[in-house]
Amino acid sequence: MAIRIDLPVDAKVIRKLRVGDEVRLYGNVITARDMAHKYMVEERPDWLRPLLENNVIYHCGPVMKRTGKKWSAVAAGPTTSAREEPYQGTVISEYKVRAVIGKGGMGPKTLKALKKEGAVYLHAVGGLATVLAEAIKEVEAVHKLEEFGVPEAFWVFRVEDFPAIVSMDSHGKSLHAAIRKDSLEAAEKLIHG
């Protein structure tokens, strides 16, 4: 049974989540990928603080559609999170982010920040662009669109029933680290006998 998470969310609620838990998100998430993470760490903009505190970052570069002045998300699955590994821990601490949604998992620096701050990494299924776009009910705002372009802009999405799985929790556990270790052992056996 999936756990409903309403946003913004307290660290207390997040601390209860464990690797393997299925969640459904309700509320606002904000997209941020490569340019956005570099910008957040290098410039530490204050205008983002109210948007990010106790909220969720989504690693996503969507396909968007504009009808008149209104934007809608056409395709919006997760992008590879590993590219943000150099920045993510700092961003989580600086902006009090409670969850990061992406795909492929992240490394030890992020895992440490999740534990310290009370945050989780949520894995969405890569390539699920149409299904996940259906969970985006409203485009609340967009920032840095001109400067960063459509895939890299900060899009504020109001989501309902957005599905993801906790793959790194705030207790130091990572599904990705476990799979990496097991698959390395299997590979070594296949390679060296």
Residue 190 has a CB neighbour count (10 Å cut-off) of 8
Closest approach, Cβ 88 to another protein, in A, equals 15
Which is closer to another protein, CB of 51 or CB of 175? 175
Closest approach, Cβ 170 to another protein, in A, equals 20
Binding mask 136-165 for another protein (x = CB under 8 A): ------------xxxxx----------x-x
Which letter does DSSP use for residue 76 in this model? -
Catalytic residue among 37, 123, 143, 176: 37
Catalytic status, residue 176:
no
Q: What is the DSSP secondary-structure string of 107-169?
A: -HHHHHHHHHHT-EEEEPPTT-HHHHHHTEEEEEEEESHHHH-TTTSEEEEEEEEEEEEEEE-
Q: Is 3 in the site for another protein (CB under 8 A)?
A: no
Contact 159, 137 (CB under 8 A): yes
- Tokens at 70, concatenated: 């209104």
The residue whose two tokens read 């701050």 is 117
- The site that binds another protein (CB under 8 A) totals a number of residues, namely 48
Tell which one of 13, 35, 41, 156 touches another protein (CB under 8 A). 35
Tell which one of 123, 162, 169, 170 touches another protein (CB under 8 A). 123
